[in-house]
Structure 1
Amino acid sequence: MAQPDARPVQAQLIARTKQGKFDRNGRRDRKMLIAGKKYERGIAMPSPGEIVVQLAAPAKSFDAIAGVDSNDLGYYDNAGRGSVVASVECGSRQVFQSGTLKEGMPGVAIHTELGGATEFRLKLAAVGNRLRTYQGEWDQLDWAEARVTMADGSVVWLADLPAGPLPAPYAVEAPFSFRYGGRPSAEFLGQWKVERESRAIDANRTRIRVTYTDAASGLQARAEAVAYADYPTVEWTVYFRNTGTQPTPILEDIQAIDTQLERTPEGEFQLHHSIGSPNSPTDFRPLETVLAPGSRKAFVARGGRPTDTDLGNFNLEWAGGGAIVTVGWPAQWSAEFVRDKATKVRVRSGQELTHLRLLPGEEIRTPLVVLQFWRGGDWIDAQNVWRRWMLDHNLPRPGGKLPPPMLSSGSSRQTVEMQEANEANQVLYLNRALDAGLKLDYWWMDAGWYPYQQGWYKTGTWEVDPARFPRGFVPISEAAHKRGTKIIVWFEPERVTDGTWLHKNHPEWLLGPDGKDKLLNLGNPDALHWVTEHVSNLIRTQGIDLYRQDFNFEPLQLWRNADTEDRQGITENKYVAGYLAYLDELHRRFPEMILDNCASGGRRDDLETLRRSVPLWRSDFAYDPEPMQQFTYGMALWIPYFGSAFNSLDPYIFRSQMTPALSIGMVAERYENGLPRMKSLLAQWQRVSEFYAADFYPLTPYTTEKSGWLAWQFNRPERGDGVIHAFRRADNAFELAKFRLRGVEAGARYKVTNLDTARSTVVTGAELTQGGLPVTLTARPGSALILYEKLAVAR
């Protein structure tokens, strides 16, 4: 199967001329002709207007020769006709302007620096007395030899580039919408003052800012976009700011994305989407919805936790290509896909409820939106472009490196609950595990280490319990560090219960009634400052190496109860800004530290959160083997790094529970031959864990039935190797299954090794992709781990 084309369009030409078009490399079937000199390459503008050159990477300079074309195209005598001025604009600056140009005059050489811009405009204006022919005015221009030198030194010829508007995020029209003063933005946004600027972030990313300003009220809508040169991807967030001196009119129904995607006439729209993590056996289940003509598919988060019902990731497929649309919002979002009766789908998504006035100087933001276009291959190939983009540009990199496969353990998953933990038993159990030869990356200390009276759930006093830990965590962290292990410590700073320190000392920072869980309002600057300083101090003084944040209740109603009628959505919006600022500040202060994200399992796996943290506990529906297989199958399509725990030394169950980050959820000594068996299984996990960052291919349909097989493949095409995970479930009647692999070379030879039998065979890539890899499992349930690697060609 062909791989999707992950290269972005280098540049795109949008014609906004009087005739609505331009010509390439000539006039009709003739070469460009300026004052008797012919030119092979260039862009011809047949009428006044402009051509917008939009780039996905920074540009250094633009060169061309500008002149009125002299070809006789069947008009009456055109000698001396045409009267135009050519100019080049970059951002708000005019970087070139010619004198008046007429037919027969020599061309004007243009060289202008673009300074890393990603957009500029070629403009043509008619001036003076303009003669007309029976076919119209002769006001036209050739941009001969028109080319862009990119910042990396490569040269792009404008005539070689596709025409027409780019997909919505690149287009001049805003790909977002809102209502203001009762009117939809489509009616007036084009009349507001517009400012555009761009700058290179690095070799692969360019930041584009477009600011719309309402002169009457001072409201600004500022779209901050990032275009990627190494992926067919653009993202943006919109900020609204009141620059006036009075509250704004009502700003409402803000949609971070509001655009149409159009397919070719062939085929139909297929929307691929996934369940979130509502603590069920089908967490992360991939789903597909056919968008028939006139249909609508809507999504909405639940309770203010973004992935409690659905992941905010969508792959809209049509014949020959498609687009991935993602909304990143760690709160209450909604989305809809509305199909017309022809070839278009309207996509809208944003914070579910916005109906508010902005006070002078106040600013809010929309969810993050990502669009990633693809063509060729199929939607699974496109998911692998997404996975690679996630790894290259999103997954946190503490210390500048991607999080490696991780093995952890902790007494709360083995011998003693955390509320029974103390300094002595934590050091004892830590050393016992290390003395047994378990190579732990982290020792995990979960909920309950703080003072409590009625169980771990009573949160809001964030101090290490002096009765159980008189010297804090320092003896534990020092014991771990001496042996090359780090410590994970659990926090839940947002939830506050009655009688705790925060409840007693700062009730003004809390949202919600007494007698129920309250919310520490991260939208309150004082509360945000306190939690940042307090937690940072604990991390620093206690030797904490990995910060784990949980979130075990629904905040939505508390946010909404805090809003007045003309300020609906403001509390949630400011809370999100504070939450993200908190995580960003922890990263800044502790650049080597991994942050873990948990919300009763996987209820906060939005893209904004995943850019700052990793989900080490993917679902509260843990351990059952078939659901655990299903979680990996669905989650790996979108999220390349996640964790769970194992509680069995049965190979079928253990392999069902294997994840990139793995925690020991059992005591080996309780099982016959326990420690040797655990080490053997962990060695297998360690052997295959290097593939978890590779391309991912489901090899069977998703199923919850115990009568089926479930299998998937991780493949590294750059190295020519990979691994297959295969599961025969308890009620399956067939010992043999064949899996047609993907991403391997048909003409290459591969060594295939079963990790259980250690037997290897040599097969061709064609056999693996066409006939399929045969896997035999006599036991049911049963499992197999199979490695393959491409053999070098003998010379």
Structure 2
Amino acid sequence: MSTHVLSAMITVLVLCAAAFAATDSYIPTAPPEDAVMAAPEEIQAVMDWAQRAFLGESPEDTKAVRIDVLRQDHNVLNFGRSCMETPITIGEQVFAHGLGTHANSELLVQVPEGAAHFKALVGVDLNDDTRNGSGSVRFFVQAGDKTLYESPVKKGGEAASEVDVEIPAGTATLLLRADMTDDGVSCDQCDWANGHFVMADGNLRYLDEYQNPLLLEGSQQPFSFRYGDQESTVVLPDWKREVNSEETDSARVMHITWTDPATSLAVTAEVKVFKRYPVVDWVLYFENRGNAPTPVISEIQALDAQLRTGHPRKSAMLHELEGDACGVTSFLPKQEALAVGNELRRAPTGGRPSSISAFPWFHFEYEGQGFIGAIGWTGQWASRFSRAQNGPTRVQAGMEKTAMYLEPGEKIRSPRIVVMPYSGDRTRAHNQWRRLVLFEYAPRIDGRPVQLPTALQTFDRYHRGPDWATEAGQLDAVENAAKLGCDTYWFDAAWFPGGFPNGVGNWSAKPEAFPNGLKPIGNACAERGMRFVLWFEPERVAEASEIAREHPEFVHGGEKGGLFKLDDPNARRWLTELLSTRIAEYGVTVYRNDFNIDPLEFWRRNDPPNREGITEIRYVEGLYEMWDELRARHPGLWIDNCSSGGRRIDIEMCGRSVPLWRSDTNCWDSNADWNQAQTAALSPYVPLHTACAWRPESYLTRSAATGGLLCQFDYRNVAFPMDTASALIEEAQANRFAWYGDFYPLTPARTAPDEFVAYQFHRADLDAGVVLAFRRAECRYKGLILGIHGINQNATYEVEYLDGNGGVVKKTLPGAELGDSLELRIDAPGSTRIVRYKKSKP
């Protein structure tokens, strides 16, 4: 790059950064109220589902007639459409109202107060299966033991028969039956068309109106377990139930406790139903309130629900990400169809929740409906999606193995489950989810989600050098971070005796290299207004380390080293004190917790007989308690969650921390294309994460930049281009306002070198955003013309096009053009373009 072009690039980037950063770097405290947010009726549907599922009750103010499906042998009950998911049609008549079912079925309908008559038109649904006369069904309406109506045999293609029954006095429920005949159940798709109650005042109450529109079925508790040799669905109805509710600004929180009168086992579901999102969050607790050990509690499924995937000839789809494998596949999207009679099982590798074989965030889709879900368990979770031959799907998730009794007074918890049903636009649903995680789960500082750092972190480049990991070397690094314009300095695994990895378990500064400890580095960061990130790996203990020598009783593995016993309260309290002391002593503002060990075999080897899963539970609970305690003791502290990169990214961890080193693919150079794919894949689920660039080149820094940027720059090289690097960091800082908005993938998340890649981050509250585009090294295409999202078609926008060599073009564009035909042209392979836009001021 020529001196002239370099100078121009620096000038342009600094001016652009100043123009946008002055106001747009503001981090919002709450989501905007716009069309992305769920409508009131969408939120109410989820609130109603939660009340029905957890309490078995319909809301007091519901307008829906309660219908319990006692039996349906094929497909699922549909409201306002047939079980074949077509308009309800009997003979040649199409109906706007009704129930679509399939023999054999039994529907228990609650009679509303004041109902005088029940009316319907019944028959075999007319569709491609029945048009030739196939299907034969008989319909019955019963009140208790009394049959109020019995139809003749109805066949495909025939006109409907009329049902008109008077409701006997005192009748609480009607049973609507549809039975197959002697020719079998084939094609017995049938309808209760226009089914309704005629009220005493003449009003009509249609059975299909105001019913649950969600993919999630809500007829029973959405969790399960075995108690002794019995299923929870069998025992819970006979247990005492207590319900307590409280209202917060953001949610209704229910505590529902079922207590076994014989053994005093109490099972509590802590359920949070959000007020601004169509989302339910729950955790189960099991507590022995008796005086003797309980029977064995096993097969605990924190999520166990039915999905209304009714049509057996239509596939459902599971969308998910690969776990982090420190390679080309890390976090890549994948999808797998779920046909009838099949199942999909998922579990991570080795006890770390997002490691290699699975990722604990997913999206299940069926015919324009779906739900996004997250499993909050920093351990060995497992999920199963199994689809029955007749259509419906059962989804289960929990710990992979549980079978334990509880001692008197003992209490355990389950994984956290978070579900967000939706209908329609998948991208809108994912942006609702992003907003949920950002504003309801992500750590906050001074009332706002944390600001991701622009940090100098050069451990992988310099840690073998003789003078870098010293007090003088680190003070020089802090000074260079400040010159670069970073807001954070990051000191990784080079400060303790023994070094990495042999010194893990020695959590004090090397005395010869740091005679004053690390406080001078913390002070230097504070004086320059920068955060100080310091690396620890407290859960892994090396042989011959201080902890292994002096406290072998705190280690699974003893003096030989192994896994620190966070499952032991005494060990956890000791470690918490040590870490808290170091945080205060060194002036740490971001505590970085790495975890480079698979804990699963340690957990399982240490389970006592008839206590399978207890060590894992106590360990995970201990981890959460330790992190919560550190945050409580040090206001303003936040935590970087690392585990050989991104192998511990679950929603429990994202509520306490941020994955700043999202994958160990950051540990070496030349992974820019992987960085682009990881950003595009993770961002619909996890809004806050960062990645690393090794050289100050626009293609590399833009590929790595998210809401922050980590830099492994060779700043000690006398030829290092400090001004260029500073300009690129400032560019990343100018763009990061947009990362706290909505995400729109403009091309698929892939890693192939011949791809053209583009994605958009949009701040609806500012009517502004950023588009990043990349022409990879082997891409033959010079550009794309495409529409971008969130644009007001009637507005005008100020637009900046920034290439990677200092060129900038400014335009004023009508919203109709920007939203429909934005041109992303990149002339050279291995190059990049940024488009910034903002609505023009009146």
Same fold (TM over 0.5): yes
Q: Counterpart of 1:464? A: 509
| Structure 1 position 485 matched with structure 2 position 530 | yes
Distance of aligned partners of 1:48 and 1:331 in 2 relative to their CA distance in 1, 3 Å threshold:
closer
Query: For 1:251 and 1:599, how far apart are their aligned partners in 2?
Result: 31
Name the amino acid aligned to 1:546. Answer: V
2:142 aligned residue:
none
Query: Pairwise mapping of residues 369-384 of structure 1 onto structure 2 (< 5 A)?
Result: 369-377=417-425, 379-384=426-431
| In structure 2, C-alpha distance between the alignment counterparts of 1:558 and 1:669, rounded to whole Å | 42
Amino acid at match of 2:557: G
Deviation of the 1:170 alpha carbon: 9.9
| Kept in 2: contact 1:418–1:449 (CA 8 A) | no
User: Which runs of 5 or more residues in structure 2 are unaligned?
Assistant: 1-33, 66-107, 120-164, 174-196, 200-204
The match for 1:355 is: 403
- Asked if residue 317 in structure 1 is aligned to residue 317 in structure 2, the reply is no
2:734 alignment partner, SS class: helix
| Aligned-pair CA distance for 1:390 | 0.6
Instruction: Select 2:282's aligned residue among 214, 223, 236.
Output: 236
Map Cα deviations across residues 630-660 of structure 1 (whole Å, 9 max, x no partner).
Answer: 1111111111111222111222122112122
- Does structure 2 conserve the Cα–Cα contact (< 8 Å) formed by 1:407 and 1:441? yes
Map Cα deviations across residues 598-630 of structure 1 (whole Å, 9 max, x no partner). Answer: 000000001101100111111001241111111
Q: Is the aligned partner of 1:259 residue 2:309?
A: no
**1:112-151 matched pairs, under 5 angstroms:** 135-138=167-170
Q: 2:816 is matched with which residue: 766, 771, 777?
A: 766
Amino acid at match of 2:360: G
**Cα deviation, residue 383, structure 1:** 0.8
Structure-1 residue corresponding to 2:233 = 186
**1:266-325: CA deviation from partner (whole Å, max 9, x where unpaired):** 964222111121111121111112222222111001101110032211111223331112
Contact 1:368–1:608 (CA under 8 A) maintained in structure 2: yes
User: What residue number does 2:104 align with?
Assistant: none
- Residue 559 to residue 134, structure 1, CA distance change in 2 (3 Å): closer
CA distance in 2, matches of 1:537, 1:182: 49
Local SS of the residue matching 1:206: strand
TM-score normalised by length of structure 2: 0.75
Q: Alpha carbons of 1:479 and 1:49: their partners in 2 closer, same or farther (altered >3 Å)?
A: same
How far 1:769 moved relative to its partner? 4.1
The SS at the match of 1:504 is: helix
Structure 2 residue aligned with 1:422, among 463, 470, 493? 470
Whether 1:305 and 2:356 are equivalent positions in the alignment is no
**Which amino acid in the other structure matches residue 168 of structure 2?**
G
C-alpha deviation, 1:755, in angstroms: 1.9
Answer yes or no: is the 8 Å Cα contact 1:3–1:376 preserved in 2.
no
Residue 585 of structure 1 is matched in structure 2 by: 629
CA distance in 2, matches of 1:419, 1:595: 29
Counterpart in 1 of 2:392? Answer: 344
Residue matched to 1:563: 607
CA contact (8 A) 1:4 1:374 kept: no
Mark the CA change 1:467 to 1:50 in structure 2 (over 3 Å): closer, same or farther: farther
Please state how far the C-alpha of 1:173 moved relative to its aligned partner: 2.7
Matches within 5 A, 1:410-559: 410=457, 412-413=459-460, 415-417=462-464, 421-434=469-482, 437-452=483-498, 455-512=500-557, 515=560, 517-559=561-603
Q: TM-score, normalised by structure 1?
A: 0.79
Deviations 1:506-534 (A, max 9, x none): 2222113664x411111101001101111
> What is the deviation of 1:338?
1.2
Partners of 1:4 and 1:375 within 8 A in 2: no
Relative distance call for 1:140 and 1:493 in structure 2 (3 A) is: closer
| Alignment CA distance shift 1:357-1:774 (3 Å) | same
Please report how far the alpha carbon of residue 714 of structure 1 lies from its aligned counterpart in structure 2 after TM superposition. 0.6
Aligned AA (2:624): L
Which secondary structure does the structure 2 equivalent of 1:338 belong to?
A: strand
2:687 is paired with a residue whose SS is: coil
AA partner of residue 351 (structure 1): M
CA distance in 2, matches of 1:264, 1:135: 31
SS at match of 1:311: coil
The DSSP-based 3-state class of the residue aligned with 2:703 is helix
CA distance in 2 between partners of 1:702 and 1:23 (Å): 42
Say whether residues 1:777 and 2:822 are aligned partners.
Answer: no
CA contact (8 A) 1:178 1:185 kept: yes
CA distance in 2, matches of 1:362, 1:752: 61
- The one-letter code sitting in structure 2 at the alignment partner of 1:507 is P
Count of aligned pairs between the two proteins: 673
Instruction: Quote the Cα distance in structure 2 between the aligned partners of 1:74 and 1:189.
Output: 34
Deviations 1:349-406 (A, max 9, x none): 00001011111111111100001111232x2221111000011101101333211131
1:479 Cα deviation after fit:
2.1
* Structure 2 residue corresponding to 1:740, chosen from 787, 803, 809: 787
Contact persistence 1:410–1:430 (CA under 8 A): no
Residue 488 of structure 2 contacts residue 533 of structure 2 at CA under 8 Å; is this kept in 1?
yes
Aligned equivalents of 2:597, 2:477: Cα separation in 1: 31
2:649 is the counterpart of 1:605: yes
Contact 1:498 1:514 in 2 (8 A): yes
Task: Please tell me whether residue 729 in structure 1 is matched to residue 776 in structure 2.
Answer: yes
Task: Report if the CA contact (8 A) 2:485-2:729 is conserved.
Answer: no
CA deviation after TM superposition for structure 1 residue 763, in Å: 3.4
| Larger RCO (CA under 8 A, 6+ residues apart) | 2
Residues 418 and 446 in structure 1, CA contact (< 8 A), matched pair in contact too: no
Pair 1:245-2:291 in alignment: yes
The residue type paired with residue 374 of structure 1 is Y
> SS in structure 2 opposite 1:308?
coil
For residue 643 of structure 1, give the secondary structure of its aligned residue in structure 2: coil
Task: Using the TM superposition, name which of 633-642 and 414-423 deviates more.
Answer: 414-423
State the AA in 2 paired with 1:448.
A
Which residue matches 1:702? 749
Is 1:224 aligned with 2:261? no
- Root-mean-square deviation over aligned CA pairs: 3.1
On the 8 A contact 1:408/1:662 being kept in 2, the answer is yes
> Bigger CA drift: 688-697 or 663-672?
663-672
Q: Distance in 2 between matches of 1:72 and 1:294?
A: 44
In structure 1, C-alpha distance between the alignment counterparts of 2:57 and 2:741, rounded to whole Å: 44
Classify 1:198/1:169 alpha carbon distance in 2 versus 1 (closer, same or farther; 3 Å): farther
* Contact residue 413 and residue 664 of structure 1 kept, 8 A: no
Partner Cα separation in structure 2 for residue 500 and residue 198 of structure 1: 49
The Cα offsets for residues 439-481 of structure 1, whole Å up to 9 and x where unpaired, read as: 22222111131222x6543211212222222221122222222
Counterpart residue type for residue 459 of structure 1? V
Corresponding residue of 1:575: 619
Decide whether the 8 Å contact of 2:607 with 2:614 is kept in 1: yes
SS in structure 1 of the partner of residue 389 of structure 2: coil
Task: Report the Cα distance in structure 2 between the residues aligned to 1:16 and 1:533, rounded to whole angstroms.
Answer: 47
What's the CA shift for 1:3?
A: 4.3
For residues 769 and 416 of structure 1, do their structure 2 counterparts lie closer, same or farther at Cα, with a shift above 3 Å needed? same
2:563 maps to amino acid: L
Determine the structure 1 residue equivalent to 2:257.
211
Deviation at 1:230, TM superposition (A): 0.5
Name the CA shift for 1:199/1:160 in 2 (closer, same or farther; >3 Å): farther
For residues 28-107 of structure 1, the aligned pairs below 5 Å read: none
1:542 positional shift: 1.9
Query: What is the DSSP-based 3-state SS (H/G/I as helix, E as strand, rest coil) of the residue aligned with 2:282?
Result: strand
Cα distance between partner residues in 2 of 1:702 and 1:560: 37
- The structure-2 alpha-carbon separation of the partners of 1:220 and 1:381, relative to structure 1 and needing over 3 Å to count, comes to same
Task: Answer yes or no: is the 8 Å Cα contact 1:328–1:606 preserved in 2.
Answer: yes
Alignment of 1:296 onto 2:340: no
Structure 1 unaligned spans of 5+: 25-46, 52-67, 76-132, 145-157
CA offsets, 1:655-691, max 9 Å, x none? 1121223222012464867112112212221221111
Q: CA 1:752–1:356 in 2, change beyond 3 Å: closer, same or farther?
A: same
User: 2:743, 2:760 within 8 Å by CA — same for their partners in 1?
Assistant: yes
Instruction: Select 1:174's aligned residue among 221, 235, 239.
Output: 221
